[in-house]
A and B are shown apart, each in its own frame.
Chain A
Amino acid sequence: MNRICIIYDKLRFEEKQIYNKIKEKGIDASLVDGKSITFDTESSKPDPIFGDIIFQRVISYIRGLHLTYCLEEIGLPVVNSFNVSEICGNKLITSMVLKKNNVPTPKTTFAFSTESARECMNKLGYPLVVKPIIGSWGRGVYQIKDHTMAKIFLDMREENDNLFSRIYYFQELVDRPTRDIRCIVIGNEIAASVYRYSPENEWRTNVAVGGRTEVAPLNPELREIVLKASKAVGEGILGVDLMEDRETGYLVHEVNNTVEFRGASAVSKSDIAGKMVDYLLEKSNK
């Protein structure tokens, strides 16, 4: 009999939904707090608590990534895999991988010191968008409208001793409607697709900043781009986010590794959690 283990560090709506869905299907499930796990170099035999497959849903990217590495090293299948997690959790790597695989993505520039970031911004001109390479929910994502704002931004970053604060990620400001598209991709199937509309007086569309969701119909072009993006990062259970550039069409700007779907499940008729469980079962039987 299969056993699915969900590893979390903060139990969200999604983890509860998935856990309840596993139980509903009559499958053995365990919930393990990632903060409580320890490993050592002698670890070789998986603890039975980890079951046959692990669904890694840790909210801290760095913790999740390192845990995934350890779990895979002792032979456990983890969704998403270390490679997928590493690509998706880091916007710089995601952008590079998408571009390399011919997935349409916004033009993005990287700099690795404050001085080169200043030169980049002057060269690129304004407006432009800055994003932290690690992080979610629209935090640290700003529209830089002019030289004065750029200076404030660089000063703020200089004062920040965050490990990644000296890696700069500048993206073209895409001329798009006041929405983006979130597609929940499970393996090679799109389980749900929703528009996320920006709330009033906000240009970001994240549900975390108050964005409203609505079902987004899939068309062949959208489907092809989304599945191509998912394949490019290595496939798994993912959230592919796209913008609709008024001139060039769909642009994938992010692929989420521990995708949240509360907003999508509020409007979509699709059994998102159920499809995730089916995928995990299929993977554990391989």
Chain B
Amino acid sequence: MKKECKDCGAELTIPQDSMVGEIITCPDCGTDFEIVSKNQDTVEMKEAESVGEDWGQ
């Protein structure tokens, strides 16, 4: 599935097995998008949260 980067207009490829909550990074501008919903034909994304200092494992 293909989407357009909302920031730079580059083409984003959404892998078939991707799931809601996953992050898709624009290959051109590096913006991270979070998948918020996904079905057979459509995928909705929003800009992902920026990495926090408390992020980790």
Kindly identify, within residues 1 to 45 of chain A, every residue whose CB is under 8 Å from any CB belonging to chain B.
8-11, 15-16, 19, 31, 33, 35
A1 CB, nearest partner CB in chain B, Å? 23
CA distance A9 to B48 in the complex (A): 10
The answer on a CB contact under 8 Å between B21 and A134 is no
CA distance A61 to B56 in the complex (A): 7
Question: For residue A9, which residues in chain B have a CB less than 8 angstroms away from its CB?
Answer: 21, 49
Assuming the contacts A10-B34, A10-B48, asked whether A132 and B53 have C-beta atoms less than 8 A apart, the reply is: yes
**Size category of the binding interface on chain B:** 10 to 19
A190 CB, nearest partner CB in chain B, Å? 17
Kindly identify, within residues 1 to 54 of chain B, every residue whose CB is under 8 Å from any CB belonging to chain A.
19-23, 34, 48-49, 52-54
Instruction: Decide yes or no whether A172 CB sits under 8 A from chain B.
Output: no
Q: How many A-B residue pairs have CB under 8 A?
A: 63
Question: For residue B53, which residues in chain A have a CB less than 8 angstroms away from its CB?
Answer: 132, 134-135, 139-140, 162, 164
The answer on a CB contact under 8 Å between A61 and B20 is no
Question: For residue A10, which residues in chain B have a CB less than 8 angstroms away from its CB?
Answer: 21, 23, 34, 48-49
What are some 7 contacts across the A-B interface (CB < 8 A)?
A11-B22, A19-B19, A31-B20, A61-B54, A62-B52, A135-B56, A136-B57
B interface residues with partner A (beta carbon < 8 Å): 19-23, 34, 48-49, 52-57
